[in-house]
Structure 1
Amino acid sequence: MLAIPAATAADRPNFVWIMSEDNSKHYLRHFDPDGAPAPNIEALAEHGITFDRAFSCAPVCSVARTTLITACYAPRIGTQFHRRSKMAAMPEGLKMFPAYLHDAGYYTTNNSKEDYNAQKSPDTWNESSRKASWKKRPDKSMPFFHVVTTGLSHEGQLHFPEKAMATPTQTNPASVKLQPYFPDTDTFRYTRASYHDRMTAIDKAVGDVVQELRSDGQLENTFIFYFGDHGGVLPRSKGYTYEAGLHVPLVVRVPERWKDLVSREAGSRTNGFVEFVDFGPTVLNLAGIDVPSGVDGKAFLGDGIDAAEVDARNETFGYADRFDEKYDLVRTLRIGNIKYMRHFEPYYPDGLQNNYRYKMLAYQQWRQLHGEGKLNEVQSQFFRPKAVEAIYDLEHDPHETRNLASDPNTQTILKKMRARLDQRLKSMPDLSFIPEAVLYESAMGNPTAFGQQNKTRIAKLIDTANLALSPFDESEAQLRKAISSDDSWVRYWGLVAASSIGPDAKPLTSLAKNHLSDKEPLVALRAIEFMALMSDEDIRPQLYQTIERASNEPELLQILNTAAYLNDFFGDRFTIDVEKVKSSIKLSKKGEIKDRLDYFSSK
């Protein structure tokens, strides 16, 4: 990049980001008629722009926030796992975008959550703490970039005990509209009403920041971005790549002094798609700073940005990998109102145990009612295996409950979306097709270089995984070849594809059985899953053996993920012996490992 003259308040605007944790656009009346009123956020919109199609690329904090701060898709740069087992190095020659503001003379502050999965450079923030403020800049002529995060809407706010439900909410529970995949119970109504109350608290926090800027004489010098850091937070949102997990509210207030930088009218709205990778480039562009090469995002406001071009943007990409101790590899592509979801481990139900999720009473009740057979078809989907691929018409099915992948009328668009996602995954390339345990050992010093060095191999792994998309009689020969491959990760994905196909793949049982003690523990794990799905054979001895062979934390976590799946979704066939599991583990029993062991002990 070219050297940039030092910025001054006279020639560059200020920026404030206000992020509310864990809330999708669905809980604010400004975006959804069933949401709560938020007069301060609505006032921001009157002086700016509402983005009705804004998206986090990931439905969980650390991955979403790393996407924001790097302007890069997480699976390309190795930052897609929540919680990370090891920090990823930034792509060579690239820094987190506030560093470019800092280099140009901005005072950069963060109050105070970071939660990054990548290593930041020392010049990212002048201060990042609970005391950080633009008011502490040493020279009042310095422009500033300030981030404030409020946890008033965080998931933990809904982790109340049952006795708390005796306390009335401000919002009448009888007045809220529940999503169709929820059972209509007092618990769910109280939970949603409580979250509407959280929106009121968020709105006050936004108003407080605005008043602080006004009192400091900086309101009309400052672009204010208000948005959720990803979706949430009732069940089936945070941690899931449905729209409830990815579609976030975004309002940008445009200051009077800098309104000429924006070619839109105050109070306007746009349906143009913007993603978290775009936010950093937008700030840099508004600041008059060149957007560095090597990022994935593109600006949507500022000099040289055509509003009509932004309005025409209609594509967003989403990803899910690991959430604490829970694994489930999912990729999504939305083009306009058509949403495509590719479940690479579809036999894992959405309801697979995640300890933090199930602290919420609504989650607990949902699972209990499922076990008692008291849910209808739509409400039960969460606890059943998923389709390998799904396509939803969001205009007519905004809650993504009717998968149209088998509808003869959708086959043309299905194939188009499938091909487009495939192209995107291979072009990155998507590092998740090599297990986290391998990336942990071999890639985190330079994940993007590792990806480029293995680009051809990753494309082959994606092709192997995609054998699950074909009928078994068409893919059998290729599956047999894959499961017998000299490449461990081709074997791995061959077994996953076979398990994804389901009962039709049962003729591969003898071949899969040969890999129950594969030299790679994770390949053996995939053979164990296949045998559990296809036969009545007790594969717990092989599972305990695989646990004993685990050589690093993510490898063990993935094995314990399968143990939880077998324990919870196969009746009494594969009940896990927690003492046997504990005695088999040779690694530290802390963190997410402890979470799994605590869960097994609680059963």
Structure 2
Amino acid sequence: MKTAFKLLFFLLILLTIQSCKTQVAELPAPNIVWITSEDNSKHYIKLFDENGVATPNIESLASQGVVFNHAFSNAPVCSVARSTLITGSYTPRIGAQFHRKIQQVPMPEGLEMFPAYLRQAGYHTTNNSKEDYNLVKSDSVWDDSSKNATWKNRKEGQPFFHVFNLGDSHESRLHFTEEKMKNNPTVTDVNTVFVQPNHPNTDLFKYTNAFYRDRMVHIDKQLGDVVKELEDAGLMDSTIIFYYGDHGGVLPGSKGYIYETGLHVPLVVRVPEKYKHLINAEIGGREDAFVSFKDFGPTVLNLAGVDVPEGMDGKPFMGKNVTEDYLNTCDETYGYADRFDEKYDMLRTLRKGKYKYMRSYQPFNFDGLMNNYRYKQLAYQEWADLYEDGKLNDVQSAFFKERPVELLFDVEADPYETKNLTNNENLKETLLELRGKLNNWVESMPDLSFYPEHFLIENAFDNPVEFGQKHKVDIKRYIDISNLSLLDFEEAKSGIDASLKSSDPWERYWGLITCSIFKEQAKDFVSTIIDISKNDSELINKVRAAEYLGLVKHTEPAEVMTKALYESKQAAEALLIINSIVFMDQGEHKYKFNIDIEKIDKDILKVKELERKLDYISNVINS
């Protein structure tokens, strides 16, 4: 009798388990909503940072879901961040890394923007309304992408994926005037508001910080309105809601810069009770796994029960087959920064655990180099003026000075990345590990930015991924030359010599950049560099040579650079030349230029980024 009872008991347990599995299997695909706020890192929200403001609606979502402590945009600016999101791919691999695009690139062969796969699976896909992709979008991505786009137009019973963009935290909101500042007091107390240690603690910076925190309160209210609409429609039990910022904040040195304030974003995912089996965390809890924008699209596909295409770089962090053991291994994220508007630079980062490694491939292009859109903000203007007047301390001045080739930060102890630890003997192993991992990453993609943008536009943008694979060996050589700057000069010398004499123009290009990093130590190469400045087949190499000669005060760079600008027929090439001109004008030596805009090729003057730079030339350089 007891044996029969035990068998009956186990049978009931098995039936119950099978019933639960069937119920899970029979659940309809969840609706998924993204609520995206523009231009805000996690630093302004109390849920994520002690110096942030209370956001009760975001906190309410968090109480019904999961807070991700380590969520990152892979780029600190809109179009590059959103191109990563929509493709699930690293943009330096697919040619979408330049903001704003001079030319859109096609999607990688065989890959669609991820909402297209949701549509194929029966989802209604809508975006209200910002896209800002650097890639060509097919008609298969959205049912509607406009200011009128809504989930309400789906068929009865059809699951939906909807994106709602909140723009009132955008950088442009900080383009206020002094008069507006005087007449519009903030709700956040300017006398107690937090000011970052790398910023001057002035009345203007206090007001800007307080004003932006007020915008976060407003964004929270708007988010609450979006959620209320879903509640009123009775959809909360069937809808997973993501809230995140589309990249870092807009206080000076954040958006457009590859620091934590430019990359570390808030992320909350609200999960209904019946779908909580899709996450590996307690409802109302926090998750420490590192996730980044390349992973968001694959995660949505996985939550919807759609296979993730092989061509994506990202991996799901929620949904089927995502285990706690896997999440425990997710402790790193990569970042990238190239041309943002009319300002060129090239940096790559790796954050692993509490350590952040930054590799600066052109460190002389200091952060504070003119970017017209950034400098519309009064706080940027004041910061630069105080630097010129010698009124900043070393930490506050770093923004306007050349960076080291590599930097290492403990971002838990030093969240605003003010103390470079590369010379800390106790962290030598950490430095070498992160350096090696980042180098392997740029090689394995491969990273297309080791070619100048104008060359990619002319030669690679029909199929960037294929171009990268065909030229992987060449790109590795350019990476190796750039890495000579990590060596002592005597170790690097023979490699530099070979690169400057190479028949490959881009070996010469990286050899010249490496010389500009070593400066006076590389003076043995002056005669070779003078020859390049006069006779190279590439205009940009003549400019890079003049840049070096200017940095070491050997030769005034104006004549070579100005002549190259007049001869250029490519907008991206002209922009890169002008970037060097502005650097020579703004930098330590403050060389003088007199540029006749009428002599610049008329066909390239219509590019917006070029217009901005020419504006600066007319009003500042030529004045």
**2:526 is aligned with 1:527:** no
Mapping for residues 217-232 of structure 1, pairs under 5 Å: 217-232=234-249
Aligned to 2:175: 159
Deviates more, 1:125-134 or 1:398-407: 398-407
Runs (5+) with no aligned partner, structure 1: 1-7
Counterpart-to-counterpart distance in 2, 1:429 and 1:366: 37
Counterpart-to-counterpart distance in 2, 1:201 and 1:328: 34
Contact 2:87 2:312 in 1 (8 A): yes
Structure 1 position 528, deviation (Å): 1.3
**2:437 is aligned with 1:420:** yes
Structure 1 position 576, deviation (Å): 2.0
Query: Which SS does the other structure have where 1:192 is aligned?
Result: helix
Counterpart-to-counterpart distance in 2, 1:586 and 1:157: 34
Structure 1 position 283, deviation (Å): 0.6
**2:331 is aligned with 1:314:** yes
Structure 1 position 601, deviation (Å): 1.5
Mapping for residues 252-401 of structure 1, pairs under 5 Å: 252-401=269-418
Structure 1 position 428, deviation (Å): 0.4
Equivalenced residues, count: 593
Query: Which SS does the other structure have where 1:391 is aligned?
Result: strand
**2:88 is aligned with 1:71:** yes
Structure 1 position 385, deviation (Å): 0.5
Distance 1:254 1:86, change over 3 A: same
Query: Which SS does the other structure have where 2:533 is aligned?
Result: coil
Counterpart-to-counterpart distance in 2, 1:14 and 1:500: 52
Counterpart-to-counterpart distance in 2, 1:458 and 1:196: 43
**2:120 is aligned with 1:103:** yes
| 1:550 partner letter | S
Contact 1:230 1:246 in 2 (8 A): yes
| 1:449 partner letter | E
| 1:497 partner letter | T
Aligned to 2:14: none
Mapping for residues 496-575 of structure 1, pairs under 5 Å: 496-517=513-534, 518-572=536-590, 574-575=591-592
Runs (5+) with no aligned partner, structure 2: 1-24
Query: Which SS does the other structure have where 1:177 is aligned?
Result: coil
| 2:40 partner letter | N
Percent identity of the aligned residues? 50
**2:26 is aligned with 1:15:** no
Give a deviation string over 1:427-486, Cα, whole Å, max 9, x none. Answer: 000000011101101111111000000000000110011111111111111101101100
Aligned to 2:136: 119
Give a deviation string over 1:191-243, Cα, whole Å, max 9, x none. Answer: 00000000001101110111000011111111000000000110000001100
**2:590 is aligned with 1:589:** no
Counterpart-to-counterpart distance in 2, 1:439 and 1:191: 39
Counterpart-to-counterpart distance in 2, 1:509 and 1:334: 38
Give a deviation string over 1:49-71, Cα, whole Å, max 9, x none. Answer: 00000000000000000100000
Structure 1 position 594, deviation (Å): 1.0
Contact 2:569 2:604 in 1 (8 A): no
Structure 1 position 586, deviation (Å): 4.9
Structure 1 position 10, deviation (Å): 6.0
TM norm structure 1: 0.97
Structure 1 position 261, deviation (Å): 2.0
Aligned to 1:175: 192
Structure 1 position 571, deviation (Å): 4.3
Counterpart-to-counterpart distance in 2, 1:312 and 1:9: 31
Give a deviation string over 1:357-398, Cα, whole Å, max 9, x none. Answer: 000000000000000000000000000011011111112111
Contact 1:112 1:149 in 2 (8 A): yes
Aligned to 1:3: none
Query: Which SS does the other structure have where 1:339 is aligned?
Result: strand
**2:159 is aligned with 1:149:** no
Contact 1:578 1:597 in 2 (8 A): no
Counterpart-to-counterpart distance in 2, 1:395 and 1:538: 44
Contact 1:9 1:141 in 2 (8 A): no
Query: Which SS does the other structure have where 1:323 is aligned?
Result: coil
Counterpart-to-counterpart distance in 1, 2:148 and 2:325: 41
Aligned match of 2:110 in 74, 89, 93?
A: 93
Query: Which SS does the other structure have where 2:346 is aligned?
Result: strand
Structure 1 position 582, deviation (Å): 4.2
| 1:190 partner letter | Y
Counterpart-to-counterpart distance in 1, 2:485 and 2:129: 44
Bigger Cα Rg: 2
Aligned to 2:264: 247
Give a deviation string over 1:516-564, Cα, whole Å, max 9, x none. Answer: 0311011111111111111242121111111122121111110011111
What's the RMSD between the two structures over aligned residues?
Answer: 1.3
| 2:156 partner letter | K
Contact 1:10 1:141 in 2 (8 A): no
TM norm structure 2: 0.94
